[in-house]
Structure 1
Amino acid sequence: MTDDRHPLFKPLVLVGGVIFGFGLGFSHMARPEVVLHFLTFTDLGLPFVMFGAAIVSGVAFALLPRIRDAAPLTGTPYERRLKPFDRNVLVGGAVFGVGWGLSGICPGAAYASLGVGNVAILWALAGMFVGAYAQGYWRSRTPARDTTAARAD
């Protein structure tokens, strides 16, 4: 497979990640206790950070396809990829939510948490990798019962 992306694609993804990580660290959202305080309704700063990100993303997703026909760095046309709301989405979301609620660690913020000196977060990151590997292994061994979900992947 040839990589026919724009030469600035990877550096810009890195810059976006740095901005994301800095924003999480600056807003203190990389600290698990902040997430736990949000889940217990004692600190409601997290929704403001999430809504800010949702507004920026929503505007970008609404305007860019009207301005351009294709993504500037990849050249691929803009299109919506709709996935069905099925059992996999429901169970996966529930498991993710339970893990997030028990640990107070969102995967995106977990990496940023390393940057603010939370080395204990490595245990959570290891758990995320083991969980993702176990799910991929289980899914590769389980026969596809839902053909629409398999096609959407």
Structure 2
Amino acid sequence: MSERDLWQEVLLCAINDALNAPTTSAGESRRIRQAQEARDYLTTPSDDLAEVCSLAGIEMDALLERMRKRLADAAPLPPMPKLSPVRLQPTRTRNRRLEHGGASLTVREWSERTGISAGAIHARLRSGWTVSDALSVPQSASHQRRGQMSANIITMGENP
């Protein structure tokens, strides 16, 4: 497959997303949003679309004109489903007490005791860290841990 073929496939996928939109809104919010984004992409001039068209060997203005005509005849997208409001129980994080190592202290008190900033402790807990890790992993190790995770994500797609 040549590079030109690859870029033509990219455009074909966008065209399929735009034209083969769901006809019902029940449980299809992601597909509706994806179809709308594809329609916007294929009917609005942009530097990105110009580059993709150039790499695919297709004239952008011709594509824009053709897609506008095709989408004018296409079925309209269903409305995005309305999300039911979710009632969350308020949580008090300012004076929240965390139990660790037999002690029950506020985040600020743990910050003073461990040398880890209160903001870092809150961020760690919001990110799903256990209380034990949030209070015991030094901030320098936390940055290394994040860097290792980023490196792992980058190399996941590479073939050995």
Q: TM-score range by the shorter chain?
A: under 0.3
**Which structure's CA Rg is the greater one?**
2
Which protein has the bigger helix share? 1
Structure with higher RCO (Cα < 8 A, 6+ apart): 1
- Return the TM-score normalized by structure 1: 0.25
- Return the TM-score normalized by structure 2: 0.24
